[in-house]
Copies of this chain bind each other. A is one copy, B any other.
Amino acid sequence: MTNLNLISEYKSFGGKVGFYSHLSSTCNCEMRFAVYQPPQAIQQPVPVLYFLSGLTCTEENFMAKAEAQRFAAEYGLMLIAPDTSPRNRGIAGEEDDWDFGTGAGFYVDATQEPWRSHYQMYSYIVHELPVLIKAHFPAQPDKQSIFGHSMGGHGALVCAMRNPKLYKSVSAFSPITAPMRCPWGQKAFSGYLGSNQESWRAYDASELVKQLGYHSPILVDQGTADKFLAEQLMPEVFEQACADVNQPLNLRYQEGYDHSYYFIASFIEDHIRHHAIALEVV
């Protein structure tokens, strides 16, 4: 069993938030994540809900600001919030931009030097982390779902559609829905995956939904006052792609809301409930 290092722990809504580090074999370096264990986990294994965070976030933002523990405690769900990239790898340029490198792993498996030796966030989230969670925490083995915000909304959609049997449900706040077409995505995919755009399709939700679909309705909340909406997020592209293949999508435009955690907190209850229903704890 892999060693897990508990960095700090806080009681929260009758359960506990813990921050952990471990040596990741996938990313070939130390990685961090946060876990919320609801009070129900003291008695029995519970379903697990992953949250993938956005650009510049660490494993802390979601636990400190999203107000998710209140509802995870109500429904008896474990929450997992991984960090958004490897850190301190000494890679030239890793700290130069806020939207590439550190804090911006984009949930892909990099194929390009110098990133490929550490930036394997897709496999880390989908394969390594769930095994680790099941080994160390009271998690039900076949019950997990995933959601995320912005870059993490992109990550959640990609992980879910490519692994429908692993995730019972997916939702997203202001996701990057068409990364092949937006500046953030083009920069990240060029750097991590190289110039062959065929390799990008496996990480583009609007492409994937047309190839793969998803077994259950997708919930997306998008603020209308989000300054990244038109240039980076492009929910209309994903909406059209879903319509093309009759993929059920509940895309809700929330009037006046922006890209912040104030937006996420305002609608987190609906997202937790969406997953609680799929995970059969309602």
**Interface residues in chain A, defined as those with a beta carbon under 8 Å from any beta carbon in chain B:** 10-14, 17, 63-65, 67, 69-70, 223, 225, 256-258, 260-263, 265-266
Contacts A64-B65, A65-B65, A67-B70; is A11 near B256 (CB within 8 Å)? yes
Residues of B within 8 A of A70 (CB): 67, 265
* Contact yes or no, A258 B10, CB < 8 A: yes
Grouping DSSP codes into helix (H, G, I), strand (E, B) and loop, the A interface class, with mixed when no group exceeds half, is: mixed
Chain B proximity of A17: nearest CB distance (Å): 6
Chain B proximity of A211: nearest CB distance (Å): 36
Q: Closest chain B residue to A66 by CB distance? A: B67
Q: Closest chain B residue to A17 by CB distance? A: B262
* Contact yes or no, A10 B67, CB < 8 A: no
**Which one of B12, B257, B258, B263 contacts A265 once the chains associate, using CB atoms below 8 Å?**
B12
A-B CB contact pairs (8 Å), 16 listed: A10-B262, A10-B263, A11-B225, A11-B256, A11-B258, A11-B262, A12-B266, A13-B265, A13-B266, A14-B266, A17-B262, A64-B64, A64-B65, A67-B67, A69-B262, A69-B265
* Contact yes or no, A261 B223, CB < 8 A: no
**Which one of B10, B63, B260 contacts A10 once the chains associate, using CB atoms below 8 Å?**
B260
With A and B bound together, what is the CA distance between A205 and B119 in angstroms?
54
* Contact yes or no, A64 B261, CB < 8 A: yes
Q: Closest chain B residue to A223 by CB distance? A: B11
With A and B bound together, what is the CA distance between A65 and B264 in angstroms?
12
* Contact yes or no, B11 A263, CB < 8 A: yes
Interface centre among A64, A256, A257, A263 (most CB of B within 10 A): A64
Residues of B within 8 A of A266 (CB): 11-14
With A and B bound together, what is the CA distance between A258 and B16 in angstroms?
11
Interface centre among A63, A256, A266 (most CB of B within 10 A): A266
